[in-house]
Amino acid sequence: MTQTATTPLIRPTVITSRGETRVLVDTTSAKLHFIAAVAWIGVGIVAGLLYSFVFLRLYPHEGVEVLSPGRIRMMHTNLMAYGFLTNAFIGMLHWVVPRLTGEPVLSHALSKLIWIAWNAIVAAAMWGILTGHAQAIEWGETPFWADHLVVVGVALVVINFTWSIVRSREKSMYVTLWYFTAAFVWTPLVYIMGNYLPQTLVPGTGGAALVGLYIHDLVGLFVTPMGWGLMYFFVPVISRKPIYSHAISLVGFWGLAFFYPLNGVHHFLWSPIPMFAQYGAVISTIAVEIVVTTVVINFVLTMRGEWYRLKESIALRWFMVGMTCYFITCFQCAFQTTLTMQKVIHFTDWVVGHSHLVMFGVFSFWIAGVIEHLWPKLTGREWWSRRLNLWHFWLWTLGIALMFTDLTIIGVVQGLLWDSLRPWEESIRYSEIGWFLRMISGWMILIGFVCLAINMLMSFVSRQDHVDTVYAGQFPEAAAATGVNA
Amino acid sequence: MERFNFIFIVAGILFFTLAFVIMGALPLAQYQGIDVVSMDQIATNIPYQFDELARDYPEAFEKAFGTTEPTADAFKEALETGRQAYIAEACWHCHTQQIRRIDPNDGTEVGHDVSRWAPDTRLESEADEYHNAMNYPHLFGTRRVGPDLIRSSGRHSNDWHLAHLWNPRETSPYSVMPPYTWFFDDDQGKVPNKRGLGMVTYLQWLGSWHTQFAPSQYEDLPQLPFDESWYPPYVPPETQPGEEGDPYAEEDPYGGEEDY
């Protein structure tokens, strides 16, 4: 039952919330998922970088049909969503959910099966995209035949973890689990709605309304709840302080749950979709930003007096920089979603910068924080080099800062040039410098990734034991910090 | 409010359903009772460019569609092939297919869509243009690296499109579009294959539902008498191109070339 520093790899059996003696946490599955996530993000970053060459009229693979730039682009976005984020989230769930519920997942064998199945699905979907079977749904370009497999895979994941939550006999349900529970319901619904209805039943404009919902809900109802869930767990654990306010976290959760699903149509403002839907989407988008602010305030107040820990803990840095990016994103979104601003910046690189700030600057950063925190605990090996981790942190931080400011600025330039009705080519020529800087930021992100990958590999090889001070024993400090009897 | 069942039912099911009804089902209800235009109905209005494809590339056309005649069946097949290639290459990630209802000439302060993409017809996108078998799913697009394509029918000739697909910078010097050499059977870009022909058919179909005339039909148009009072009075510009004070004289980025 006691986990000592000298045997960090042995997962102790614990008394579960139902009084049974079981192995609580499946660290092997968590580790495998993080390895897969890091492998996929590597491929995804290379794909994104190759695509950025195209805008500089460099075609490193010109004439190769399977590496056609459009297909590379779809591979980039889909690998990030389904290869990187989903794998990393499942790995994170394996660590977090059993700890908060006091119950293991349905089956550790099923967890292994999910790992194999999910990564096979991702690989098959990438093969489908590269060979020209893509589906014309943004964030859902995985071939239509792959969608059926994805639905099965998502269902397995949901059953596996929901089991743990339902069986729990804990008296209270920590805020992290609210987010995860909601995401477990939303994700399959969103995926089925977005991938099936526009493809088979609803053509044209009506389908566009649904695709708008899908694009936004995938971020808002799958990635965001997962992200905030992990923040609510890891930030108190690392900073050794309970979350500031239970009431504010209630506001944040229910506000997100109510307003976020209503946002989707704001991706197609001024389109033939009926205007009442567009007005509604704009208003609820602005409402979401207010809700988001409460969550950010909750975390800032939690960190009050603990900021000095950023010096020591790189994981906490990832979380806090990611949260800053989140606030910037949402603040920006409250303005860019207005109908007036959409006239100018819709269709420009502004939007590309925005989505990179969300998916990379926020959620990838939080996952980097989780990896930073958990990799030594999962492998039992100390990080090989803190210096490399710092390089990783700074290259990614400066990379996304450069990419975001650069794309936002040329987005405005493009929008105003189009507005002036001057020749189309002019906007391309003025964008060239921005596209060059975007490629530079892509290189920074790739090099940062290489630092991470090397460090993960070398710390595994170096065999320097990691002394777990956070989750030692039966995780008393985690339990104290989250207020749940783990 | 912090119980599993409550979150599962209220946040998970109820709020999602509410949003789906308001943002999905209500917009859908606007199109209830309107029949989706089928491929057969689309094929009753074959743009003249398809006839030209059959005439100009007879061998490639026969190899692709098994006939030398621009029949309705061949047209349907070409259109479907073109749409699939359009999706497979993710053309829709850089080209939009919607003209938003904004334009400074329509009284809004900013925005450009109608004047730029439909300067002659001034037709913004309407929902019924997308209510057909070619829009499962729609291809609105969310990014414009290149021009909008919903009114592209007749904007360029077939040969222009093929040259553009073979090497975009031959027709548009500043384009960043990659070449699509696999739309051709030879190594010189002169023999389009089925996907190449399909892509041109698709591009020439987009917007063809609005009135357009084949070049030969212009002779048959009724001649209207010229009436000066129909037009606003001519006001000469304050400065002529090239004169001193012309704002664009110094910074012409095209070096005097105009032809693209």
What are the pLDDT digits (tens) for B108-122?
777 788 888 887 777
- CB spacing of B90 vs A73 below 8 angstroms: yes
User: How is residue B239 written in tokens?
Assistant: 């400065």
Query: What was the pLDDT predicted at B249?
Result: 54
User: How is residue B74 written in tokens?
Assistant: 């061949």
Q: Which residues are paired to A13 by β-bridges?
A: A23
Per DSSP, A347 falls in state: B
Which single residue is written with the structure tokens 């790992």?
A: A115
- Winning range, highest mean pLDDT, from A419-423, B136-140, B242-246: B136-140
Other CB atoms within 10 Å distance of the CB of residue B257: 9
In sequence order, what E strands does A76-115 have? none
Best B15, B22, B23 member to test A by mutation, with max A CBs in 10 Å, is: B23
User: How is residue B75 written in tokens?
Assistant: 């047209």
Query: What was the pLDDT predicted at A479?
Result: 46
B101 — contact with chain A (CB < 8 Å)?
yes
> Is pLDDT above 90 for B106?
no
Residues of B numbered 216-245 whose beta carbons fall under 8 angstroms of chain A's beta carbons: which are they?
none
Dist. CA A219–CA A81, nearest whole Å: 9
Helix, strand or coil, per DSSP, at residue A336? helix
User: How is residue A117 written in tokens?
Assistant: 């199945």
Q: What is the mean pLDDT of chain A?
A: 90
Q: In angstroms, how far apart are the furthest CA atoms of chain B?
A: 79
A–B interface: beta-carbon pairs under 8 A: 247
Classify residue A296 by burial, with Cβ atoms within 10 Å: 0-12, 13-18, 19+: middle
Least confident of A426-435, B28-37, B53-62: B28-37
Best A74, A75, A97, A202 member to test B by mutation, with max B CBs in 10 Å, is: A202
A253 — contact with chain B (CB < 8 Å)?
yes
CA distances from B38 to A36, A235, B33, B135 (A): 44, 55, 15, 10
Classify residue A176 by burial, with Cβ atoms within 10 Å: 0-12, 13-18, 19+: buried
Which single residue is written with the structure tokens 């047209």?
A: B75
Query: What was the pLDDT predicted at B226?
Result: 62
Query: What was the pLDDT predicted at A2?
Result: 40
CA distances from A427 to A50, A149, A351, A413, B112 (A): 22, 42, 16, 8, 14
Q: Where are the domains of chain B?
A: 47-98+135-211
Q: First-to-last CA distance in chain A?
A: 13
Contacts of A190 in chain B (CB under 8 A): 16
User: How is residue A457 written in tokens?
Assistant: 């590999």
Runs of H (alpha helix) within A131-168: 144-167
User: How is residue A161 written in tokens?
Assistant: 């973890």
Residues of B numbered 46-85 whose beta carbons fall under 8 angstroms of chain A's beta carbons: which are they?
84-85
- CB spacing of A426 vs B253 below 8 angstroms: yes
Dist. CA A156–CA A145, nearest whole Å: 18
Classify residue A197 by burial, with Cβ atoms within 10 Å: 0-12, 13-18, 19+: buried
Query: What was the pLDDT predicted at A19?
Result: 80
Name the closest residue on chain B to residue A163, using Cα atoms: B4
Are the C-beta atoms of A68 and B179 separated by less than 8 Å? no
* Residue/partner pairs of B250-253 with CB below 8 Å, 24 or more apart: B253/A425, B253/A426, B253/A429
Dist. CA B186–CA A152, nearest whole Å: 44
A204 — contact with chain B (CB < 8 Å)?
yes
Query: What was the pLDDT predicted at B110?
Result: 77
Q: What is the mean pLDDT of residues A56-65?
A: 87
Dist. CA B54–CA B165, nearest whole Å: 18
For residue B241, give how far its alpha carbon lies from the nearest alpha carbon of chain A (Å): 15
Best A259, A270, A288 member to test B by mutation, with max B CBs in 10 Å, is: A270
Dist. CA A474–CA A73, nearest whole Å: 45
> Is pLDDT above 80 for B181?
yes
DSSP letter string over A56-105? TT--TTTT-GGG-HHHHHHHHHHIIIIIIIHHHHHHHHHHHHHHHHSS--
The yes/no answer to whether this complex scores an ipTM above 0.95 is no
Runs of H (alpha helix) within B30-95: 39-42, 48-56, 58-65, 72-88
Q: What is the fold, at CATH topology level, of the domain defined by A13-482?
A: Cytochrome C Oxidase; Chain A (1.20.210)
Dist. CA A338–CA A279, nearest whole Å: 9
> Is pLDDT above 90 for A425?
no
Q: In which band, very low, low, confident or very high, does the pLDDT at A253 lie, cut at 50, 70 and 90? A: very high
For residue B52, give how far its alpha carbon lies from the nearest alpha carbon of chain A (Å): 28
Among candidate residues A365, A407, A388, A361, the one with its CA nearest the CA of residue A456:
A388
A482 — contact with chain B (CB < 8 Å)?
no
Q: What are phi and psi of A22, to 5 degrees?
A: -140, 160
Q: In which band, very low, low, confident or very high, does the pLDDT at A437 lie, cut at 50, 70 and 90? A: very high
User: How is residue B67 written in tokens?
Assistant: 């006939």
Higher-confidence position of A397 and A169:
A397
Classify residue A244 by burial, with Cβ atoms within 10 Å: 0-12, 13-18, 19+: middle
- CB spacing of A426 vs B179 below 8 angstroms: no
> Is pLDDT above 80 for B259?
no
Best A347, A416, A439, A482 member to test B by mutation, with max B CBs in 10 Å, is: A347
B138 — contact with chain A (CB < 8 Å)?
yes
Are the C-beta atoms of B177 and B146 separated by less than 8 Å? yes
- CB spacing of B20 vs A213 below 8 angstroms: yes
Q: What is the mean pLDDT of residues A109-114?
A: 96
For residue B113, give how far its alpha carbon lies from the nearest alpha carbon of chain A (Å): 8
Q: In which band, very low, low, confident or very high, does the pLDDT at A5 lie, cut at 50, 70 and 90? A: very low
> Is pLDDT above 50 for A8?
no
**Cβ-based neighbours of A245, under 8 Å, separated by 6 or more:** A298, A301
Query: What was the pLDDT predicted at A16?
Result: 79
Name the closest residue on chain B to residue A271, using Cα atoms: B100
For residue B193, give how far its alpha carbon lies from the nearest alpha carbon of chain A (Å): 14
Among candidate residues B13, B196, B190, B188, the one with its CA nearest the CA of residue B89:
B196
DSSP letter string over B89-126? TTGGGTS-----S--GGGT-SS--HHHHH-TTT-PPP-
- CB spacing of B7 vs A178 below 8 angstroms: yes
Contacts of B13 in chain A (CB under 8 A): 185
Contacts of B174 in chain A (CB under 8 A): 425, 428-429
Query: What was the pLDDT predicted at A474?
Result: 44
A469 — contact with chain B (CB < 8 Å)?
no
Residue type present at position B59: E
Reported pTM = 0.89
CATH class of B47-98+135-211: mainly alpha
Name the closest residue on chain B to residue A274, using Cα atoms: B27
B90 — contact with chain A (CB < 8 Å)?
yes
Sign of the CA dihedral running B132, B137, B143, B146? negative
Q: In which band, very low, low, confident or very high, does the pLDDT at A462 lie, cut at 50, 70 and 90? A: confident
Dist. CA A448–CA A400, nearest whole Å: 11
Contacts of B182 in chain A (CB under 8 A): 63, 65
Runs of H (alpha helix) within A224-313: 224-239, 246-259, 275-302, 309-312
Q: Where are the domains of chain A?
A: 13-482
For residue A87, give how far its alpha carbon lies from the nearest alpha carbon of chain B (Å): 22
Q: What is the dihedral of CA B53, B58, B59, B61, to 10 degrees?
A: 40
User: How is residue A415 written in tokens?
Assistant: 């929008």
Best A214, A343, A426 member to test B by mutation, with max B CBs in 10 Å, is: A343
Among candidate residues A150, A131, A359, A218, the one with its CA nearest the CA of residue B182:
A131
